[in-house]
Structure 1
Amino acid sequence: MEDVMATQKVDVLIIGAGAAGMMCAIEAGKRGRKTWVIDHAKKLAEKIRISGGGRCNFTNMDITAKNYLSENPHFCKSALKRYTNWDFISLISEYGITYHERDHGQLFCDDSAQQIIDMLEKECKKANVDIRLNTKVEGVSKRDGGFLIMSNEHEIECEHLVIATGGLSIPKIGASNFGLKQAEVMGLNVIHPRPALVPFTFDQDTRDKLAGFQGIALEAVIKLGKTEFREALLFTHKGISGPAVLQISSFWTPGQEVQINLAPDTDVFELLKKAKQDQPKQEAQTVIATILPKRLAQRLSEQADCKGKLADQPDKKLHALAASINDWHLLPSGTEGYRTAEVMRGGVDTNELSSKTFEAKKVPGLFFVGEVIDVTGHLGGFNFQWAWASGYCAGQYV
């Protein structure tokens, strides 16, 4: 029987059995490198499993560097060119995984996200990669010619160490700051992490004003400075959510107002003015209900004090009502945090890493891939594509 604390020697040790970690392992294994992947979780790739409502939005039809946020917007370009969305689509096609396209080029499995996990696991087996779950890292130290990793199961010596532990989002599935802490211990700079692709929350006063809006969803444009997104917006008990909000949240810093246009195809003041001329006995909320959900139209009209016939409403009130729809300014008090954030913004400073190999410039043999790096994709399959691309590229060099 194997001594549980016997020192195991491997060429490559990858900490983190998620999308980027497994992708890196597959490529390292294909090159004949003795590769282990360890993870503290009981199940493989939980973030893949729960993503996209269980269907995994695994990539996007249109991937460009513009879909990513980073202190260095050029860092992601090399990897995204070397392993493209079409490369991943080709891989899932080999496994007969069927998929469909939704809005904005998002690609989802027809059946289940588990198909992607099973595929990656099979690819790891084909490449002789050893995956060990329920394995907690208790210490990492630099050694001549490599690293020594202490875990609850083994003492592991490796030539190359890859940290693929993801970010801080969704702690209930095991997310932790392990990768960020290791980077700092090794002397690397970390860009301050914060939740991204996350719903906004409001203070009690604003929540009171939004009372009765909960559950209403509509297409809207949301802006922050020069950045804007046009997608679905959803009113929640705590604030606002939906794809438009998640997208803009990655750009938001506390204290910033967001601008919302609830009727992006309509000049609401012109609509009201024309209705006032053509149907003066009509009420404002009836007109607004032709472009917005009835409950929302009623509440906004009440808040603008536009009650009664349009003929009796001064233009000033109609302007105020129109502005609350076409140019609504809201100040979020915060976000729902990592509990519901899809990803983390920030991470290991890209200036510390080679964009070609993902190796730390100051620490030979140490690599970082995936979400733990300061590269954050937009909503829509971009973060998975970053995981595939960064994992693939590092796998060529470990």
Structure 2
Amino acid sequence: MVRPEHHDAIILGAGGAGLMCAAVAGQRGARVAVLDHADAPGKKILISGGGRCNFTNVDAAADRYISANPHFAKSALGRYRPDDFIALVDAYGIAWHEKTLGQLFCDGSARQIVAMLLEECAKGSVALRLGNPVGEVRHADGLFLVDHGSSAFAAPTLVIATGGPSIPKLGATGFAYDLARRFGLKVVEPRPALVPLTLGGDEVLFRTLSGVATDVVARAGKARFREAALFTHKGLSGPAILQISSYWRHGEQIGIDFLPDVERDWLIAAKRERPRTTVKAVLGRMLPERLAETLAERLLASGELANLSDRILGDSERALSDWRFTPSGTEGFAKAEVTLGGISTDGLSSRTMEAKAVPGLYAIGEAVDVTGWLGGYNFQWAWASGWAAAQAMQF
């Protein structure tokens, strides 16, 4: 039997949450080992934000996150704020800029964020062990024992930071859930989130619009987001659709307002001003040409405005402001930016991220049933939950 390396804490997962937790715990004096099957750390960080890493959002607050317990994220997010991570980024001289809706990106490369986190880990003398699968995990006599390749590790503290199954090409799996269940923790059904939606049936015709984007308001239930929607060869994507996908359930409808800025009775007003023009022509001045043409053919009245009643024009307006469609599905975990659901917050302390029934066991980041909006929110949860767990560890 392999003699295990002894540490104060073992962190499973070298992603954003795991590296943050390791760095903070290490700098507090803990002997920390980070284990991962990947051959390099921070792979999701590297591809995020088009390679520039949307590393936080200045508006991060618990109401921008989805969880079975909407209050769970408040404690960690309230104690480690966007300003705290920005201060760390600034200390490393990493230039950044704010895009729309509070989203912060590196001016240069996401590699700068990974390098920063690794340097923070080095300051805490963190042992990084990559490139081997995590094998059996046991718990006995107050110690967690973990097999990692041909090595073994032991520690009184174990942190699950292996994320969810989104983007499996990067090595993502449901390992966190299997491990959590082994220790008696419940798991909220994982689903793809921030994911493109697919169209079927009558809506397949919209596939001819692949590549066309326009500003819309997307609605699902009480949730609504105003950003760009992008037609694809499979259905719909773009920020507005990715956002609303997190609130959509299979079989439900989604509503799209294609013209969120127009005033009521705008078509009727156009009829008074230009009676010989057509609905298609009016729409073509407000939307991309191919979209205007398709919507006019699919949803709206045809012919000159002068020949259409105000009632018919009113119906056309309503069709454009509340186009309803039922997605046939999503593009799944392969294209999902994050995972909805995960390790149930019922079994975790919101302050420490520690399992209530298993002292020394923690769960952080995407592995937990806390999912943020698009735009840096999920990274902020990774930093905040990792920080909270690291602050709570006893060693």
TM-score when scaled to structure 2? 0.97
Q: Which residue of 2 aligns with 1:129?
A: 126
- Say yes or no: does 1:82 pair with 2:79: yes
| Aligned residue-pair number | 393
- Whether contact under 8 Å (2:26, 2:32) holds in the other structure is yes
Q: CA deviation at 1:324?
A: 2.6
Q: Does 1:169 align with 2:163?
A: no
Structure 2 residue runs without a partner (length 5+) = none
Structure 1 residue 8, shift from structure 2 partner: 1.1
Preserved CA contact (<8 Å) 2:279 2:300 = no
CA displacement 1:37-64 (0-9 Å, x = unmatched): 0100011110000000000000011121
**1:194 is aligned to 2:191:** yes
Counterpart AA for 1:32: G
1:316 Cα offset (Å): 4.5
Alpha-carbon distance in 2 for matches of 1:122, 1:273: 63
The yes-or-no answer on 1:67 pairing with 2:64 is: yes
- Report matched runs for 1:329-348 at 5 Å: 329-348=324-343
- Equivalents in 2 of 1:12, 1:215: separation in Å? 48
Work out the CA distance in 1 between the residues paired with 2:240 and 2:270: 30
Q: Secondary structure at the match of 1:206?
A: helix
Secondary structure at the residue paired with 2:137? strand
Q: Distance in 1 between matches of 2:56 and 2:139?
A: 36
- Flag the 1:251–1:304 CA change in 2: closer, same or farther, 3 A: closer
TM alignment of 1:139-218, pairs within 5 A: 139-208=136-205, 210-218=206-214
8 Å CA contact 1:300–1:324 kept in 2: the answer is: no
**Contact (CA 8 Å) 1:39, 1:136: kept in 2 or not?**
yes
Identical-residue share of aligned pairs (%): 50
**Mapping of residues 156-305 of structure 1, within 5 Å:** 156-208=153-205, 210-267=206-263, 270-304=265-299
Deviation of the 1:297 alpha carbon: 1.3
- Cα shift readout 1:180-232 (whole Å, capped 9, x = no counterpart): 11001111111111001111111143112x14321111110011122111111
Runs of 4+ with >4 A deviation: none
Aligned residue number for residue 361 of structure 1: 356
**CA 1:23–1:305 in 2, change beyond 3 Å: closer, same or farther?**
closer
Counterpart CA distance in 1 for 2:355 and 2:150 is 27
Secondary structure of the corresponding residue to residue 161 of structure 1: strand
Structure 2 CA distance for aligned equivalents of residues 23 and 172 of structure 1: 23
Q: Who is 1:116 aligned against?
A: 113
Change beyond 3 A, Cα 1:196–1:305: closer
Query: What CA deviation, in whole Å up to 9, does each residue of 1:79-129 have, x standing for no partner?
Result: 111111001000010100010000101000000000000000011111100
The residue number in structure 1 matching 2:31 is 34
- Displacement of 1:315 after TM fit? 3.7
Aligned partners of 1:31, 1:265: CA distance in 2, in Å? 52
Q: Which amino acid aligns with 2:136?
A: G
2:208–2:233 Cα contact (<8 Å) kept: no
State yes or no: 1:370 paired with 2:365.
yes
What is the alpha-carbon distance in structure 2 between the residues aligned to residue 125 and residue 51 of structure 1? 23
Q: Residues of 2 paired with 1:23 and 1:278: CA distance?
A: 61
Q: Secondary structure at the match of 2:316?
A: helix
| Residue 168 of structure 1: how far off its partner (Å) | 1.0
Structure-1-length-normalised TM-score: 0.96
Following superposition, the deviation at residue 239 of structure 1 comes to 0.8
State which of 313, 320, 327 in structure 2 corresponds to 1:325.
Answer: 320
Separation in 1, partners of 2:131, 2:207: 45
The two structures, once aligned, show a CA RMSD in angstroms of: 1.3
1:73 maps to a residue whose letter is: P
Instruction: Return closer, same or farther for 1:305/1:343 CA change in 2, 3 Å cut-off.
Output: closer
Aligned to 1:23: 20
Code of the residue aligned with 2:277 in structure 1: it is Q
Q: Is the 8 A contact 1:184 1:190 kept in 2?
A: yes
Aligned to 2:7: 10
CA distance in 2, matches of 1:290, 1:15: 54
Conserved 8 A contact 1:232-1:243: yes
How far the C-alpha of 1:320 sits from its partner, in A, is 3.6
Structure 1 counterpart SS, 2:188? strand
Matches within 5 A, 1:299-318: 299-304=294-299, 306-318=301-313
